[in-house]
Amino acid sequence: MQAERLKDLAVDALDDLKGKEIQVMDVRGKSPVTDFMVMASGISDRQVKGLANHLIIKAKAQGVRLIGVEGEGVGDWILVDLGDVIVHVMQPHVRAFYNLEQLWGEEGPRMKIGDSSSRGKAEALARPL
């Protein structure tokens, strides 16, 4: 499935169960790992788990191969990796603490793909363009 359609599927699934503050970030050119990050808040661990589970069910029904899911046990932050789209479902206090929107926003990190300098991989990934 195309990244744009996958992003729309994720947003629709989160909206179905009344996810709060749904935000889509285009991270193409900033991350070699994914094209879009989708973030949403759930008001309780139960809603966070429900949002993530609903997304997983809808994605599988569309034939999307799930890469992985992290954080299902606790329910304060669940990451659903759909490949070209990574979805973060968080409780508001966790979302405010990590502030991924600011980290990956307009002024967020930009990565050079294929940087072969000797400074090391971590430095190459963290360096602004």
**What's the rounded mean pLDDT across residues 5-18?**
96
What is the predicted pLDDT for the residue at 103? 76
What is the predicted pLDDT for the residue at 116? 42
Number of domain units in the chain: 1
Judged against a pLDDT cut of 90, whether residue 58 lies above it is answered with yes
- The CATH number of the domain where 100 resides is what? 3.30.460.10
Structural domain includes residue 119? no
| Structural domain containing residue 46 | 3-27+37-107
Structural domain includes residue 81? yes
Structural domain includes residue 123? no
Mapped to the 3 state alphabet, what secondary structure does the chain carry? CCHHHHHHHHHHHHHHCCCEEEEEEECCCCCCCCCEEEEEECCCHHHHHHHHHHHHHHHHHCCCCCCEEECCCCCCEEEEECCCEEEEEECHHHHHHHCHHHHHCCCCCCCCCCCCCCCCHHHHHHCCC
